[in-house]
């Protein structure tokens, strides 16, 4: 897998304590973008929040949205409506870019 370019790699890490789930945070006015790096051992448990749109850059993941599971591969995009329950598992090392319709979904590690 190619590493993220420096303009992404130097962004702050998200403050998240899920094993195998790592992300770089780009904070916008009213939204956030997270560049995710997801190990095959990573599991995103079922949860819900504001609207989310994402695209798989590399790898494969099983994404469940409101009880429906689908395989997503490089180039596939997905939309998760606000309030929809969702979870994910990763078949391979995966990278994805996600946009959150919430400026406070994540915070930078070490930020107060």
What rounded mean pLDDT belongs to the chain?
A: 95
Q: Domain range for residue 73?
A: 19-100
Is residue 46 in a domain? yes
pTM of the model: 0.95
**Does pLDDT of 9 surpass 70?**
yes
| Six-digit token string for 43 | 């599991």
> How far does CA 59 lie from the centroid of its chain?
13
Residue 80 maps to a domain: yes
CB 80 within 8 A of CB 86: yes
Mean per-residue pLDDT, 22-38: 96
- % of the chain at pLDDT higher than 70: 97
64-81 as b/e: b if 16+ CB within 10 A: ebeeeeeebeeeeebebe
Is it the case that residue 1 has pLDDT exceeding 80? Answer: no
In a domain, 13, yes or no: no
Domains contained in the chain, number? 1
**More confident call, 7 vs 112:** 7
Residue 35 lies in a domain: yes
Q: What percent of the chain has pLDDT over 90?
A: 94
């Amino acid at each position: 897998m190619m590493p993220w370019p420096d303009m992404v790699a130097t962004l702050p890490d998200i403050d998240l304590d899920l094993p195998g789930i790592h992300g770089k945070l780009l904070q916008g006015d009213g939204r956030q973008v997270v560049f995710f790096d997801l190990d095959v051992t990573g599991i995103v448990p079922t949860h819900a929040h504001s609207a989310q749109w994402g695209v798989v850059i590399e790898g494969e993941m099983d994404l469940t949205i409101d009880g429906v599971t689908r395989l997503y591969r490089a180039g596939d995009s997905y939309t998760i409506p606000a309030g929809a329950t969702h979870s994910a598992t990763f078949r391979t090392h995966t990278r994805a870019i996600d946009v959150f319709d919430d400026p406070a979904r994540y915070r930078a590690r070490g930020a107060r």
